[in-house]
A and B are shown apart, each in its own frame.
Chain A
Amino acid sequence: MPNDKTNDMLRAVSRRRFLQTSALGAAAGATVIAAPSVLRAQGAAVKIGVLHPVSGAVSYSGQQGRLGALAAIEEINAAGGIKALGGAKIDAMLGDAQSTPEGGNAEVEKMNSAGVSAIVGGYASSICLSASQAAARYDLPYIVDVGVVDSVVTRGLKNTFRFGPGFGVIAKTALDNLVTINEQAGKPAKTVMIVHEDSAFGAGLAKLLNAQLPERGFQVLETISHPTPTRDFNNVALKIKAQNPDIVIPANYYNEYVLLARTMQQQRIRPKGIYSVLGGASSSYKFVKDFPEAAQYIMDCNHWFDPKNPKALALKKQIEAKGQFFTYEVFMNYSCVLLLADAIERARSADRAKIIEAMASSTFSGHVMPYGPTKFVNGQNQGAMPVNTQVLDKDIQVILPATFASAKAVFPMPRA
């Protein structure tokens, strides 16, 4: 059929024409899409993902983290936003990780499609691990607020930065300080029991402690793991009672920590010391206020603000004026957001790659932690370190290192 050929030609022409038109269209479209970047220079908001487990098993910590992040964003916006971007305001996109890694991943996907420039938060190690990995697929800068397991920064992810200290540093500092405190008291303690929660955080820490305690002259009598949530610590308390260790080291989240401390008090178990490493509650003003008797004399090696920094004290006042507790999640997240804002400022752009570059070369010292200026090596802030605190007379005092100390350690615990 002769018409077929004509038809084919017609079709070919029309296809060519179609391609031409659509190419023009695409070019026009690109101009339209490019327009917002011109607008951004005049101060369009920079979107930041604020991701925390605000519901589920660790919801209290997540809510506190969100509180700190939002306090920083409010402060930055009130002070005129990101100056390098013409006073662009920071626009927080809130996410709830529901206390599970899957929940965290889902929020990262949502935040990525909403076009955030970076994400701050995660809190729990297991959430930080998976959420930062999900963000890495989109080269999306991820600033870990707490998440302490070492693998958060050892996976070679270019997008992931951790402001606070990891396990390795924390465990080493905690053990050095434990030895110091014990020696100052005339070495009364020789035996230890570890009670830890069984996810990445508690189990990883218990493994480290088990390896390092014997090297420092302590005998680990038993290591007990429990799930989060646990609502009955009677069996654990019984085991502690039977073994009668000199020191109990708990490593778990807030609810379980409080319950363990209260159950020990109830069962009248008084070791020479309760020395927690990242104990979820023992550096928390909430715990101290709610259960002063159970909290008294508990020592903790944990994230803590620089008590000599006026900015930290002002923030404490501001948070307490809102009727909230000034817990470590608050000042860690506050500092992380300031750190990110500084990077955006120096990057002079909301572009993800440029922010990552600026983060990697960050020397930020406007935060409230006793870390000094930031310096990231493979995503880990080198100056980050924990301090030792103790609950004394319904307040939390820093007992080590000496440069920040506000009180002397009371050890062993006086017999009531």
Chain B
Amino acid sequence: MLSSAILFPAVLNGLMTGAVYALVALGLTLIYGVLHIINFAHGALLTAALFAVFLAHRWLGLDPYIAIVVLTPLFFGIGYALQRFVIGPAAHGEDRNILLVTLGLAVIIENVLLYLFRADTRTIDLPYAFDVIEIGNAVLAVPRVVACAGVALVTLALWVVMRTTRTGKAIRAVAKEKLGAELSGIDVAHIYAVTFGLGTACLAIAACLLLPTYYVNPSAGNAFVLIAFTIVVLGGMGSLAGALIGGLFIGVVESLSGLFLGESLGQIGIFVMFILVLLFRPSGLFGERA
């Protein structure tokens, strides 16, 4: 069983699944790092994004990879508006209110989707979905390789934005010291909304990269968000590098435990990791000690 003929492709598959997990986790950790809230609506927003990709393909004939160009700004806008006009005002400056508001949003989004699309599992068929690339003895599906490359690009772009632009600097300033940032003339409400928008835009890209090899139904996003929470804790709350490395790591863990324990039990490995991290390194790999 432990031959390299299986292990090597399984690890590669895991890395590729992990890359998408990382992108979902990136959005989550970004929002946590700046707003200091856990966004429970993250999964529902991912589901909404998956449906958007599906409909763009069904109605407009848009290829999911081309849809990135349209859906990323759209979801940035949705995220911005949600924080600016719904979550922000409804929270009245209290963190626990924000928790409840995002949880409520998740319930609303999921049920609206369930009402509109019913419980059906939908997929899209693309001519290249089953094309392959061979690396050594591993045969890799093209859409997964594209997804992996896409995630690398997005992470790089996000890093550049955070390091070099004025908005990036402002986001980092707000994350570090909200009051200080406000005193230096930074519009905190605006920066909060921008961050929320960036997190949501990550989901739109993740959805576009996912759908060629995945399915969508009104609870599809939840599977990713539980994993994304694990990744954020593993990588360290609010750490972008942690989310990336944690995501890849969890992808490999899932792939290998699926291989050894069977597909039905594959996700056990992830949650064992979660418990181990909480027990032995609660601040995560790259997290600052509380």
* Chain A residues at the B interface, C-beta cutoff of 8 Å: 55-57, 59, 98-99, 198, 224-227, 229-232, 234-236, 238-239, 241-242, 255, 262, 265-268
How does the 8 Å CB contact mask read for B227-250 relative to A, with 1 for contact and 0 for none? 000000000000000000000000
Q: A267 vs B5: C-alpha distance in the bound complex, in angstroms?
A: 13
Known: A56-B119, A241-B5. A232 touches B213 (CB 8 A): yes
CB-based contact A266/B10 at 8 Å:
no
Known: A242-B3, A242-B6, A266-B132. A56 touches B13 (CB 8 A): no
Extra contacts, 17 of them, besides A227-B263, A234-B10, A235-B13 (Cβ < 8 A), are: A55-B120, A56-B119, A56-B120, A98-B119, A231-B215, A234-B9, A235-B255, A238-B10, A238-B13, A239-B6, A241-B5, A242-B5, A242-B6, A255-B123, A266-B130, A266-B132, A266-B141
Known: A55-B119, A226-B263, A229-B121. A266 touches B6 (CB 8 A): no
Tell whether B264 is near chain A: CB-to-CB under 8 Å.
Answer: yes
Known: A56-B121, A59-B120, A238-B6. A231 touches B264 (CB 8 A): no
How does the 8 Å CB contact mask read for B96-125 relative to A, with 1 for contact and 0 for none? 000000000000000000000011110100
Known: A241-B5, A242-B1. A235 touches B258 (CB 8 A): yes
Task: Count B interface residues, CB 8 Å.
Answer: 27
* Chain B residues at the A interface, C-beta cutoff of 8 Å: 1, 3, 5-6, 9-10, 13, 17, 118-121, 123, 130, 132, 139, 141, 213-215, 255, 258-259, 262-264, 266
> A229 — which chain B residues lie within 8 A by C-beta?
121, 215
5 sample A-B contacts, Cβ–Cβ < 8 Å, listed by A number: A98-B119, A227-B264, A231-B214, A238-B6, A242-B5
Q: How far is the CB of B244 from chain A (nearest CB, A)?
A: 21
Q: A57 vs B213: C-alpha distance in the bound complex, in angstroms?
A: 17
> A266 — which chain B residues lie within 8 A by C-beta?
130, 132, 139, 141
Of B6, B120, B215, B258, most A-chain CB atoms within 10 Å: B120
Known: A56-B120, A56-B121. A235 touches B259 (CB 8 A): yes
> B139 — which chain A residues lie within 8 A by C-beta?
266-268
CB-based contact B119/A225 at 8 Å:
no
- By Cβ-Cβ distance, the 5 closest A-B pairs, closest first, are A226-B263, A56-B119, A55-B119, A55-B118, A242-B6
